[in-house]
Structure 1
Amino acid sequence: MKKTGFTLVELLAVIAILAIIVTITVPIVTNIFQTSSEKAFEDNAMSLSKAADNYYTSLTLESDTKLPLLVTFNNGKETNRYMNNASNTCETSSERILEYSGQNPDSGNIFIDRNGDIYLALYDRQARKCAIKNPGDKTVTFTDKSESECKLTNNPC
């Protein structure tokens, strides 16, 4: 009588081979997800930096400006605090002032002063990166600063 099927040794060999394959591929896939998350954050930070430049440029022709402007991100929500030069009062708004594409960062600030100098400090929890830009910097710099260190102290009012 001939028996068909797999022996215990054959099944254990297949399980061992699958375990080796999983051990090799899981770190590779995890690294791909982390890299794509970092790249998405870099693109968003560059988009926000460009939006701040565009905002200041568009205001140079207007007399009713909202400068200096502090854009604050907290858990992805945007809050704006600015000096309304028409009424000479400090105002706060949750409307989106900067026009950009992409997702809001988890936390951080963008500050635009009356001279058009732009300060940027943004943090993304998934990428675990901090984006920094100071006046005179041509590009945004990405660091491994913690979320609590990735902040600006500028205040428009």
Structure 2
Amino acid sequence: MIRNKPYLLLIVGFALLTIFCFLANSEPTIVCNIYDSYYVLNVKYSMLFYAYLFGSASLLYLFLDSFKINLSRMVIWFHVLGTIIMMLFFFCIGYLSNELPAQEKGIDYLLDTPNYSIYYLIITLILICLQILFIINIFVSVIKKMKTPHTFK
């Protein structure tokens, strides 16, 4: 079943992220420093955002499947697995950047802290490229469907 419909993994991801979002503590944050700007993301709300992203992508896949628009299976697998793996990396890096409680982070820790912002940037760029690949796959499949002659039986 999953071999023919890999977007079901996105539905499972949607369900898991939604459940984890309601079980998560609202204190943990992900801090991203880009040049002189600091972005602080609440882990609970970022999980909810990605749950909605997974849910909307799976609904789009279901919509395309119901209209019999045949997407490239290899590109679908690449998109689904790439998105799930990048999300896991995103939250693992968020966990690593908050590995010590706030009161234990002294000046020595701040001086030796690795810059996780570049990792966030790379993951975000990969996710954007995967979404663009998904959109290209949709356009190519729709154009192929429009070029094929329709036979009515």
TM-score, scaled relative to structure 1: 0.28
Higher-RCO chain (CA-CA 8 Å, sequence separation at least 6): 2
Pair member with larger Rg:
1
- Which structure: greater strand fraction? 1
**TM-score (norm: length of structure 2):** 0.29
Name the structure with the higher helix share. 2
